[in-house]
Amino acid sequence: MRSVQSTLFALLAASSAAYADTTLNLTRGVSPISHDVYELHMTIFWICVVIGLVVFGVMFYSIIYHRKSRGAKAADFHSHTWLEIGWTIVPVIILVLMVIPATKVLLNMNNYEKDELTIKITGYQWKWQYEYMEDGIRFFSNLSTPADQMQNKAPKGKNYLREVDHPLVIPIHKKVRFLITSNDVNHAWWVPDFGVKRDAIAGLINEAWTKVDKPGTYYGQCAELCGINHAFMPIVVIATTEEGYKNWVAQQKGEATQGAADVNKQWTMQELMKQGEQTYSRICAACHQPAGTGLPPTFPALKGSKIATGPVGDHINIVFNGKSGTAMQAFKNQLNDVELASVITYERNAWGNNTGTMVQPVQIKALRDGKSMDEALAAKPEAAPKGEPAKPTPPEGKPEGESTKPAEPMKSVSPVPAEAAKPAEAPAASPADALKAAMERGEKVYLNTCAVCHQPAGTGMPPTFPALKGGKITTGPVDAHIHQVLYGKPGTAMQAFKDQLNDQEIADVVTYERNAWGNNTGTLVKPENIKAARQSGQTGQKQ
């Protein structure tokens, strides 16, 4: 018997040493929630260990000392009242002792008060979008592992399938609130070190929060099976000091300013192809494959395809707006103007397509601003860069080098003279023009901020998210509408947007909601109305 016990003890000691560095247990993490969850887990674990030892101890004692070979005889009784009461009351007491700390942790996990930073997280197939509500920063985070590594053509990197092009950046020692939703199918945002795992569901916003103790890089992943590339949807969060975070915010805003300059300049074919290849490899290659061969029938080939060699307007439209009923998403809100222009140019000239077509970022910007396709294609960049002259675009379907005259909308653009660049003194916009402009701006704000709850067509998801189409709030008094958008509605899912949107954005989105979907109230809300409402702490003046 002693030899058996010695052997078991030796095996236990050896296994403990072997697994000392593994992650069989929960991650302790770097946030208060993760610490609470870990301590709760260990508390419940040791309670279960004690219960197991008691139960199995009694069982083995009974087997050993009350066996037939020792002459034991079974007792003959039907019931034992106090025993039955005991084994009912004791488990209840144990459960109550377990429920108390579990409830405290659960309440703390759902305590979103005193947050200092709010980040909206939207899941896409197969990437994450992060939107900093206070700082006005928005970007997509995509897997950045090279395709060669995934195809076993190159050695695997240290962070294989766990690296992204744009990580989420947060400050340490600050409470960060996450608003988590989806643009398509169900996803789940999971970072073990934060103790955060929340489902991302289209039309629903789940909340979570974290407060990171120390700087570092923390990894996570989508934890909900969401399609063919579910495994290629990592999460990377960089926690930095407050000063480091402020520098990052300033850098992002500086890049946004530089991005505007990049949109207006005239790009060369070489620049577009280089940028387009990077964008294609990061965004499109997972479905359409690096060589453009696709995965028919779900993901059609782009090499020699009708869409990539046909009319450029059709190509732009499908990349910009997607194609309903297929796996092709709309990328107008996922990629910027430079990325869209360059990736379309790349697809039309890579893999032997060689259409010679160039799409300029300024043309995508014009389309985004509401111009028709023909008007957008006629948009002209500021000036051709030195070094390589602008290359004229041949007509659709014509290979480069034919003598046919280029199509007018896509021809080479010459610099605009300084005199011509100065617009004449513009007359004051008419009320109809002002309303139209506000509607166009308001639609963008609505789609980016409100549509996930109230739906693009304003139909809502009653009763949680009421319809705005024909709703009392959008067709009733304008001051009540402004007040609700500014300050939210207590006891409902309606948030306060006074700190999330500026005066112009709130004015435009209220105008849009009051005139879209057949509401047609004719109300034009101006930024000064919103400013007055902020200053008074109540409703703005009526129109």
Beta carbons of 520 and 435 less than 8 angstroms apart: no
For residue 519, give both structure tokens: 């509401």
In 260-321, beta strands by DSSP E: none
Read off φ and ψ for residue 235, nearest 5 degrees. -125, 130
Distance of CA 260 to the CA centre of its chain: 23
Residue written as token pair 């590339």? 229
Residue 298 CA to residue 227 CA, distance in Å, equals 12
Distance of CA 484 to the CA centre of its chain: 26
Q: Which CATH superfamily is domain 431-536 in?
A: Cytochrome c-like domain (1.10.760.10)
Beta carbons of 485 and 497 less than 8 angstroms apart: yes
| pTM beyond 0.85, yes or no | no
pLDDT tens-place values along the chain, 543 residues long:
444 444 434 444 433 433 334 467 888 889 999 999 999 999 999 999 999 999 999 999 989 988 888 888 887 777 788 888 988 999 999 999 899 999 999 998 888 888 889 999 999 988 999 999 888 888 889 898 887 888 888 898 888 999 998 999 999 999 999 999 998 889 999 999 999 999 999 889 999 999 998 899 999 999 999 888 899 999 999 999 988 898 898 888 877 666 667 788 888 999 889 888 888 887 888 788 888 888 888 788 899 989 889 999 899 989 888 887 787 888 887 788 888 889 999 989 999 899 888 999 988 988 888 888 888 888 888 654 444 444 444 433 333 333 333 333 333 323 333 333 334 444 556 788 888 899 989 888 887 778 777 877 888 877 777 889 999 999 999 999 999 998 888 877 787 888 778 889 899 999 999 999 999 998 999 999 999 988 887 443 333
SS3 247: helix
> Matching CATH topology for 30-109 and 265-400?
no
Residue written as token pair 């979907």? 517
CATH class of 117-256: mainly beta
Residue 529 CA to residue 540 CA, distance in Å, equals 5
For domain 30-109, give the CATH number: 1.10.287.90
Length of the chain in terms of residues written:
543
Please state the domain extents for the chain.
30-109, 117-256, 265-400, 431-536
CATH class of 265-400: mainly alpha
Distance of CA 182 to the CA centre of its chain: 7
Strand-by-strand arrangement of the 176-182 sheet: 137-141, 127-132, 117-124, 176-182, 206-210
DSSP codes joined into one string, 97-148:
HHHHHHHHHHHHHT--TT-SEEEEEEEETTEEEEEETTTTEEEEE-B---HH
For residue 118, give both structure tokens: 């709010």
